[in-house]
A and B are shown apart, each in its own frame.
Chain A
């Protein structure tokens, strides 16, 4: 295919995408001229260019559509549902031919006579509806030959004042943007990956050479910027996928006799092109599922006291290094009991096992292969290949799928997609004398177990090691036992170790590793299928020191070790109903103990937690201060912990370093207990928020007032400096 044709195909496809969007919008606002103009322009452009390139079939079809659109634009016809359906058929017809041109270079041998007749037929009904307005120009139009008529339509329908504006608009867009082959972008991404590796190696090699420090820092910054820029070049707004949905929802609601309104939010959210491609099918599947199984018929909805028209909400939002895509419906929801019955019936789980599962765990069963709750198989969905495909596809790209459902109130499917595939933050861990990369995504916290604590900290039930994490038992997996052949590894007792607390697809466990190195941004390199089969590794990478490291796959390890899906979220949030409120209004707090009393510090103000030898604390007059890398930190010691720490040999003090406006203050605490969400309290009788307290774990807890810590005086600072 020559360059000209390729460009034509791409441009026409974009035009048709626009047309599709406009058509579904037109259905809601039938009279909107701007939409009609846009649709007309798309079809007109195709017709104009095809004539030039000699695609006769395409030209004929576009021509028929253009005539109909011309009448719509002139207001001689009204955009009825029948006309919009006809235009959508035209769109499909044009797409089919374009696809054939794209794939084979020719238009294919299809016959469009029926479609053209339909489009021409649609030009007449208005004559019956309002004979006066439309019948007058019609006879002469019908007599005129197709070309003359097109000329006529064109003359009337592209008003002079609008055309130049549109043209200048497209030309500036064309000048400031450039089409780039995706393979070139992929190659650039690979090269940037290489550069990141080389940078990591340079940074490590030059760490001790002061002359190189400036240069390597510069290299570091430029690499980071370049990486960001290349990543951005590969980004596309999710509207590319979302734009397919209005049409689908429209067609499906007609086919299924349901009334559904589609709301879309966050269409401008951007995602890597390859990831966008990868979530297209899962999203379409999810929407089909919601349309078919989620929504009830209008009658059933009314009977249930709901609005006859259901709402399907698509929402995309970026959260840190992830994009969250929610598909929520306000339909019937998923009946947990039905899921349980179906899973037992299909032999996916045993009845005894099912009885032990929590609601959340039961809901996860719908992701099992071969599961479908549809009581009847329809041609829309319900063939038993459903949610498992969604999950597999999303997990393949490192994403996660969650489902929430309330019987009678609807279902939300949440896809959590990483922004990029190629470069991920990872923690480098040591085990069996090798380095491994552990992706940061599923890592929730790290616990350091000192050599003398190992025996007591890790408890055993027969052969199953467990760790008590804030009062809850966490199953442990020893990396060493996992990696060495059975029987070769000891029981993993003695010696210092670290527990990486992981949450892999709802499976919580602790991975015990021998040591930790710095976190690194790693470039994921694919592994040969022969090694992926082992079921422990998701890839490999080259570390800053030039060594190779395997990337551990927390999800696969959990499955291999037999870690079950946990219902911990429910335990942590006993009232599921109140959960959204907590998220919206409540802050997260660091819960600390100060001399036997509990107190809270807003988590957003906490910078870090330091454990310092008590000798490091100096006094400025009566005020205790800490000296950190040339900065002075006032320490608030409400519980008089300093004196207590001094009385012990080698006493240590735990200091929570917080931000207060633009200064930092330290708060001495006995222990750090937990991180938990707080709820605001109202003072009784007033609607005012009570100051300085919050409700944590159903206990009223005092919030440490950082602002009350007196600033250090200028003269006393001079005293220290001198």
Chain B
């Protein structure tokens, strides 16, 4: 289980509070640690890339660079939306990339002690995307692991599989 203990999931340590950006994908709520988010872009329609792997939502223009946007819906096995999406810009080891979500909700301050790692009963596909969950008053906030969303890593998985 050590691979799910990503620093992003733990935030600034168990004693402190963690800032998490809550997003909605296909009606469900997910969290992404704010420390990994470079910028939140408004609604936009990424340029589709014909013949690209399924997880690629398209290309977005960000400050003079062309970023590959990963579709969170596709990753979670949901049908794509035909309307403009919100795009988060995350920073990975090989540069920035985008993550397409349906809606960006709010930024939450969550005590680190509310964190729980992934349950062992979770499907493998989800295990590789989720970093764990925070127990909140109104339900669980499942954390997306920013490092696992990097298109380069996803492409590597796709070719390996």
Residues of chain A having any CB pair with chain B under 8 Å: 190, 193-194, 197, 432, 434, 482-485, 525-531, 533-534, 536-537, 539-542, 546-550
Contacting pair B155 A434 (CB below 8 A): no
Q: Is the beta-carbon distance between A530 and B68 smaller than 8 angstroms?
A: yes
CB <8 Å contact, B47 and A547: yes
Contacts of B97 in A (CB 8 A): 528
The complex places the Cα of A190 from the Cα of B60 at a distance, in Å, of 18
The answer on a CB contact under 8 Å between A540 and B51 is: no
Q: Which of B48, B59, B66 has the most CB of A within 10 A?
A: B66
Contact A434 B48 (CB under 8 A): yes
Contact A534 B52 (CB under 8 A): yes
The answer to whether A548 and B59 have CB atoms under 8 Å apart is: yes
Measured between beta carbons, the chain B residues less than 8 angstroms from A550 are 47, 49, 59
The distance in angstroms between the C-alpha atoms of A112 and B70, with both chains bound, is 58
- For A190, list chain B residues within 8 Å (CB): 64
Whether the pair A528, B151 counts as a contact (CB closer than 8 A) is yes
Q: How far is the CB of A308 from chain B (nearest CB, A)?
A: 55
* Mask: chain B, 60-75; 1 = CB below 8 Å from A; 0 = not: 1100111110000000
| Complex Cα spacing A432 to B49, Å | 11
Q: Which one of A484, A528, A536, A548 contacts B47 once the chains associate, using CB atoms below 8 Å?
A: A548
CB distance from B79 to the nearest CB of A (A): 16
Query: Given A483-B51, A536-B50, A548-B60, 20 other A-B contacts at CB below 8 A?
Result: A190-B64, A193-B64, A197-B64, A432-B50, A483-B50, A484-B50, A526-B66, A529-B94, A530-B56, A530-B68, A530-B151, A530-B155, A533-B155, A534-B51, A536-B51, A537-B49, A541-B66, A546-B61, A548-B47, A550-B49
For B60, the chain A residues whose CB sits under 8 A away are 548
From B48, B59, B152, residue with most partner A Cβ within 10 Å = B59
In the assembly, what is the distance between CA of A245 and CA of B152, in Å? 40
Which partner residue on chain B sits nearest A549 by CB separation? Answer: B47
Q: For the complex formed, measure the closest distance between the CB of B41 and the CB atoms of chain A, giving whole angstroms.
A: 14
In the complex, residue of chain B having the shortest beta-carbon distance to the beta carbon of A485: B51
If the complex has contacts A483-B50, A542-B66, A550-B49, are A529 and B152 also in contact, measured as CB distance less than 8 A? yes
A434 to chain B, nearest CB (A): 7
Contact partners of A547 in chain B: CB under 8 A = 47
* Cβ B56 vs Cβ A434 within 8 A: no
Residues in B whose Cβ lies below 8 Å from that of A539 = 66
| Distance A550 CA – B50 CA, assembled complex (angstroms) | 10
Q: How far is the CA of A540 from the CA of B65 in the complex (A)?
A: 9
**B151 nearest in chain A by CB position:** A530
A548 touches B61 (CB 8 A): yes
State how many angstroms separate the Cβ of B35 from the closest Cβ of chain A: 22
Given contacts A483-B50, A483-B51, A531-B49, contact A540 B66 (CB under 8 A): yes
CA distance A171 to B68 in the complex (A): 50
- Give A529 to B59 CA distance when docked, in angstroms: 13
Question: Which residues on the B side are within 8 Å of A193 (C-beta)?
Answer: 64
Residue contact B51 to A548, C-beta cutoff 8 Å: no
B159, CB-defined interface residue at 8 Å: yes
Smallest Cβ-Cβ distance to A560: which chain B residue? B51
Nearest CB in chain B: distance from A405 CB, A: 38
A-chain residues with CB within 8 Å of residue B49 when the two chains form the complex: 531, 534, 537, 550
Given contacts A531-B52, A534-B52, whether A548 and B66 have CB atoms under 8 Å apart is yes
B77 within 8 A of A: no
Which chain B positions have C-beta within 8 A of A549?
47
Bound complex: CA A193 to CA B155 (Å)? 29
Contact among B59, B151, B155 for A540, CB-based, below 8 A = B59
Question: B154 to A530, Cβ gap below 8 A?
Answer: yes
B53-A530 in contact (CB<8A)? yes
Q: Which residue of B lies closest to A529 (CB)?
A: B152
Residues of B within 8 A of A482 (CB): 51
Select which of B61, B64, B152, B159 is within 8 A of A528 by beta carbon. Answer: B152
A199 to chain B, nearest CB (A): 14
Q: Which of B9-65 contact A (CB under 8 A)?
A: 47-53, 56, 59-61, 64-65
Q: How far is the CB of B52 from chain A (nearest CB, A)?
A: 6
| Contact call A530/B59, Cβ cutoff below 8 A | no
What are 21 pairs between A and B in contact, CB < 8 Å?
A: A190-B64, A194-B64, A197-B64, A482-B51, A483-B51, A484-B50, A526-B66, A528-B95, A529-B94, A529-B152, A530-B68, A530-B155, A531-B56, A537-B49, A540-B59, A542-B61, A547-B47, A548-B60, A549-B47, A550-B47, A550-B49
Query: Contacts A434-B47, A533-B155, A548-B47 known; A527 to B52 CB distance under 8 Å?
Result: no
CB <8 Å contact, B68 and A527: yes
User: Hey, which chain A residues are within 8 Å of B64, CB to CB?
Assistant: 190, 193-194, 197, 525
The residue on B at minimum CB distance from A479 is: B50
Residues of A within 8 A of B152 (CB): 528-530
Residues 114-154 of B, flagged 1 when their CB comes within 8 A of A and 0 if not, give 00000000000000000000000000000000000001101
- How far is it, in angstroms, between the C-alpha of A548 and the C-alpha of B61 when the chains are bound? 7
Q: Which listed residue (A434, A525, A530, A546) contacts B66, Cβ 8 A?
A: A525
The answer to whether B151 and A434 touch across the interface, beta carbons within 8 angstroms, is no
How far is A267 from B16 in the complex, measured between Cα atoms in Å? 64
6 smallest A-B Cβ distances: which pairs?
A530-B155, A483-B50, A548-B47, A528-B68, A530-B151, A540-B66
Which residues on B sit within 8 Å (CB–CB) of A194?
64
Q: B125 CB to closest chain A CB, in angstroms? A: 18
Nearest CB of chain A from residue B159's CB, rounded to whole Å: 7
B67 to chain A, nearest CB (A): 8
- Docked CA distance A190–B152 (Å): 24
Nearest Cβ distance between residue A543 and chain B, in whole angstroms? Answer: 10
Instruction: Give Cα A482–Cα B51 distance, bound, in whole angstroms.
Output: 9
In angstroms, Cα B48 to Cα A525, docked, is: 16
Is A529 touching B155 in the complex (CB atoms < 8 A)? yes
Q: Which residue of B lies closest to A537 (CB)?
A: B49
Kindly list chain A residues whose C-beta atoms are within 8 Å of the C-beta of B66. Answer: 525-527, 539-542, 548
| Most chain A CB atoms below 10 A, which of B51, B53, B154 | B51
- Please give the distance in Å from B59's CB to the nearest CB on chain A: 5
In the complex, chain A residues whose CB is within 8 Å of the CB of B67: 528
A548 and B66 alpha carbons, distance in the complex (Å):
8
Question: When chains A and B are docked, how far (Å) is the Cα of A484 from the Cα of B51?
Answer: 7
Shortest Cβ gap from B146 to chain A (Å)? 16
Minimum distance in angstroms from A492 CB to a CB of chain B: 15
Closest-by-CB residue of B relative to A541 is: B66
A534 to B49, CA, bound (A): 10
CA of A529 to CA of B48, assembled, Å: 16
Chain A residue at minimal CB-CB distance from B51: A534
Q: Contacts of A542 on B, CB cut-off 8 Å? A: 61, 66
Q: Which of B65, B68, B95, B159 contacts A531 (CB 8 A)?
A: B68
Complex CA–CA separation, A549 to B50 (angstroms): 11
Nearest residue in A to B63 (C-beta to C-beta)? A194
